[in-house]
Structures are given as C-alpha cells and as structure tokens.
Amino acid sequence: MEERGLDDRELHAWRSFFRMQEVLRGRIEQQLQAANGLSNADYTVLVALADDPAGRARLVELGRFLGWEKSRLHHQLTRMCKRGLVRRESAATRAMFVVLTPEGRDALEKAAPCHAAHVRRLTIDPLTDEQIDQLAEISTAILANLEADQQPSR
Amino acid sequence: MEERGLDDRELHAWRSFFRMQEVLRGRIEQQLQAANGLSNADYTVLVALADDPAGRARLVELGRFLGWEKSRLHHQLTRMCKRGLVRRESAATRAMFVVLTPEGRDALEKAAPCHAAHVRRLTIDPLTDEQIDQLAEISTAILANLEADQQPSR
DNA sequence: ACCGATGAGTTGATATATCAACCAGCTCGT
DNA sequence: ACGAGCTGGTTGATATATCAACTCATCGGT
C-alpha cells in the first residue's frame, strides 16, 4: 500500500538502511554535542579547514568541498564565528575566507579522538572487514549515481 | 590529523558512507517536497499510519515505532494537523490518537509511487542484487549494535 | 562605454530537530 | 491516605536546514 515498485527485498534493504542512517546520525550528533559541544556540522567544517596548512579556505571552495549550499554555509559560519571557532577574513578582491582560530583548532583536536572512537564503535566494530569494504563500494556507487543524475550545480 | 583511530580503509568507508547518506537524504527530501509538498518526515508518518486499517495510532505507539522523541512527534503532528493531513483524537482515558484524514490518505497515495520510483532510481538501480542484500545486512548489523549500545529508552 | 548575465556572498522567512521544563494522572510502598 | 516517582503529553527556546530574494562585482559582447 506504499512504496510500490520496490519488491520486498528492496523495500527491506531501503527501510533498514534508512532507519540505520537516521539513528546513527542522531547518535553521532548527540555524542559530539554532549562530549565536545560541537554539532556534526561544526565538526565537519573544522576538519575541512584543518586540511589546509594555514587553516584557511575560501568560502566557495569550502562550500563546493562540503557540497553545501552557500546559504547553509553562511549561516553555519556565522554561528561558528559567534562561538569563536573560526574567523571571517575578507581579501582585497571580492573574496571571502574563513580561518580556523586557535580555539577552533583546539576544539577540533580535543574532539577528534573521541569522535573517531565513537564512529569506530558505532559503525566499524559491528561490521566484518569485508562489510566495511562493501559499505565503501556501495556508498561510492550510490554517490556516483547521485552526482550523475541531475544537479551538477551547487 | 583528524579522526585518528580509523585507518585509511575505515576512514574512507566512513566518509563515503557519510557523504552518500547526506546527499541522498537531501535529494529524497527535495524530490518529495517538490513533487508532493511533503517532507520526508510527513511521508514517514503517513506511511506508518496507513499501516493501521483505520489509519489510527496512539501517540506513544507511533513514537516508539518511528523511534522519535515524543516532542519531535508532537511538533510534527501539529504541523501535519495544520495542513489537514492528520487529525488528533483524544480518547476518554488519558490517551492521544492520531488519525489519517482522507486528505492525508490521498496525499500518501499520490506520493507513494513517485517516491518509490525515486528511491529505486537513486539507491536500488546503482547497486547489484548482491549489494542490495549486503546493504540490508550491514544496516541491520549497525542498527542492532546501536540498539544494544546504550539508550534502550525513547 | 554600456548592458545583461553570471557568480559570490548576504539576508530573512520558514520548516524542522533537539533539549529541557513542565503538567497531569497513575502506581506503588509505607 | 499520602507523597515519590513514572508515563504520556505539551510547550517554548534554540539550533539547524532550506528556500527565495537581494546586492554587488566582474565579465563578455556589442
């Protein structure tokens, strides 16, 4: 009576995947929040910035890298600015940068091992080595398809 | 320099999974919204309600079934009430129910095939039959672990 | 030089999710 | 009977995500 077009096997796969992803995301979020006062979005931005040796990135680049809408990024950054995790810097020529502040770097370094352990416990440990690779392959397959299918923009 | 504790293989699996899940969820949401004016949350609730022959469910039950916090469910339902998709009904004895309205059932029936097709296109089609089963197994493994690990509440 | 298009960035409105506090009624042990 | 604690439900505050509209440069062509 719903989701016709998927047979039982497919429907089951989809539903368990979706449920799993939902719960997992929630747990990760809570853990980061409780232990480090960071949202997952915060953490993601921090990690991305730390990729750069100077902890600096242009807004567009960052947005493209994260696959985020510009406005989402903007709001996120203003929140992070308010908390002193990053700082905006306007270059001479019509370009905006974000820089990791020392506090931001600190927060990241404190959170990282804890987060990693949590991710491991929740998603790596319950899987066999094979399954880990399968998950990676499945994910990239779906991702590739998503990127092909429509929306090259962003 | 981040997420120590995961080796490259694991990190790669985690990141592609996470990215995939993020993009996928966004697409599904957009599609449902654009084509049927429903959020994924709306849709989920509608499907859950339609499980019952009378399209009725007790709040607690529904919450438990969806794995949602009571307050999340509450807010969601008031939004859906406002749009006429469901109706609240208070039983005599301190128990709250939600009922699918005809409009709600309608919306669901209109959305379902379209949604199913979209899910299929985005997540089933790019995978082999084997991978579909693998995904189901992986998901249930992680889910089982999540449910074991802490939080029996909700 | 000008106009239109595009791209980066900003803003505000709205929808959604999460959290903590609260308000009944119920139940249970004393 | 009474108070402590539990459960189901509600509320409001806040954080986050999404969307549309807007500004302001820059660029290309004429």
Domain enclosing residue B71, as ranges: 14-148
- CA-CA distance, A140 to A146, in Å (whole number)? 10
In sequence order, the 6+-apart residues with CB closer than 8 A to the CB of A115 are: A28, A31, A32, A36, A43, B3
A89 within a domain of the structure (yes/no): yes
Task: Report residue B148 as tokens.
Answer: 């074991």
B150: pLDDT strictly greater than 90:
no
Using the structure, give the distance in angstroms from the CA atom of B74 to the C1' atom of D9, rounded to a whole number.
8
Number of domains in chain A: 1
pLDDT of residue A15: 95
Closest residue in B to A139 (Cα) is B17
- What pLDDT, in 10s, does the model give residues B9-68? 999 999 999 999 999 999 999 999 999 999 999 999 999 999 999 999 999 999 999 999
Given a contact cutoff of 8 angstroms between Cβ atoms, the answer to whether A104 and A46 are in contact is yes
pLDDT of residue A150: 66
Using the structure, give the distance in angstroms from the CA atom of A58 to the C1' atom of C1, rounded to a whole number.
33
- Contact flag B67-A22 (C-beta cutoff 8 Å): yes
B9 within a domain of the structure (yes/no): no
- Enumerate long-range contacts of A149-154, CB under 8 Å, 24 or more apart: A149/B121, A149/B122, A151/B27, A154/A63, A154/A64, A154/A67, A154/A69
- CA-CA distance, B9 to A98, in Å (whole number)? 30
Residues of A within 8 A of B17 (CB-CB) are 123, 135-136, 139
- CA-CA distance, A89 to B23, in Å (whole number)? 29
Percent of chain B clearing pLDDT 90 (strictly above): 87
CB A82 under 7 Å to nucleic chain D: no
The shortest C-alpha distance from B16 to chain A (Å) reads 6
Task: Report residue B9 as tokens.
Answer: 């293989």
- What pLDDT, in 10s, does the model give residues A9-49? 999 999 999 999 999 999 999 999 999 999 999 999 999 99
Task: Report residue B15 as tokens.
Answer: 């990141």
pLDDT of residue B74: 97
Beta strands in chain B (DSSP E): 56-58, 86-90, 96-100
- CA-CA distance, B118 to B43, in Å (whole number)? 14
A94 within a domain of the structure (yes/no): yes
CATH number of the domain within which A75 lies:
1.10.10.10
pLDDT of residue A149: 75
**Chain D positions under 7 Å from a protein CB?**
7-13, 15-21, 25-26
Beta bridge partners of B102: none
A70 within a domain of the structure (yes/no): yes
Percent of chain B clearing pLDDT 70 (strictly above): 94
B57 within a domain of the structure (yes/no): yes
A96 within a domain of the structure (yes/no): yes
| Segments of chain A scoring below 50 in pLDDT | 1-3, 151-154
pLDDT of residue B152: 45
B8 within a domain of the structure (yes/no): no
B5 within a domain of the structure (yes/no): no
Task: Report residue A126 as tokens.
Answer: 């319950």
Helix axes B40-51, B8-36, angle to 10 degrees: 80
